[in-house]
Amino acid sequence: MHIADLRREYSRAKLDEREVADNPFVQFQRWFQQALDSHVLDANAMVLATCGSDAQPSARVVLLKAFDERGMVFYTNYESHKAKDLTENPLAALLFYWKELERQVRIEGRVEKLTTQENEAYFQSRPLESQISAWASPQSQPIEDRAVLKARVEAYRRQFEHTPINCPPFWGGYRLIPHYFEFWQGREQRLHDRIIYQKSADKWVIGRLAP
């Protein structure tokens, strides 16, 4: 296999700064809806990149669970590796890749925790098994084997058999508050379109980058 020979042309669409929305959240909503309408698998999956005080970057796929002009929301265990990074350094980046549409969206910003009320409201919307798993998994901690995890799940299942399951104090959401967006559209001859939005005071400044 010759990895260097793996390539393809991009020709589905174009992106013109004269046609994009003035607001990046509106532009993101347009593209996100098009991804849903095109049946892109896991359209809300995004790579979350963090970096703690050790300056070691770390990335993983998480799911976008809400967004509005306040920012992009995701949930996790507050004792996880990503949470440790975000405690030490609240700056983070997101990346959406919609292969079927030949599109990427990069978002950079500062992350803050959601309120207890927001966490509880979302937690109660989750399926029962997901609620139990949130309690059972000591995320990012070493475990001997999968049997340990299954035993913890069964223990919490018995514990909550006759009582409501509240959101664990060590689990909840974050909101990334963007100051930068980049919308990438694949084009012919690798001359891709890259339209950026940068926050300047209370407004967004639109620009174009060379591919």
Taking the CA atoms of residue 27, residue 210, residue 44 and residue 26 in that order, the dihedral angle to the nearest 10 degrees is -10
Alpha-carbon span 140 to 154, nearest angstrom:
20
CA dist 194 to 22, 88, 92, 113, 188, Å?
15, 31, 20, 30, 13
Question: Structure tokens of 95?
Answer: 């990346």
Q: Is 190 a catalytic residue?
A: yes
Report the interhelical angle of 146-159 vs 128-136 (nearest 10°). 120
Catalytic residue among 18, 190, 194, 208: 190
The residues, any chain, with a CB within 8 Å of residue 88's CB and separated by 6 or more, are 52, 53
Q: Which residues are catalytic?
A: 190
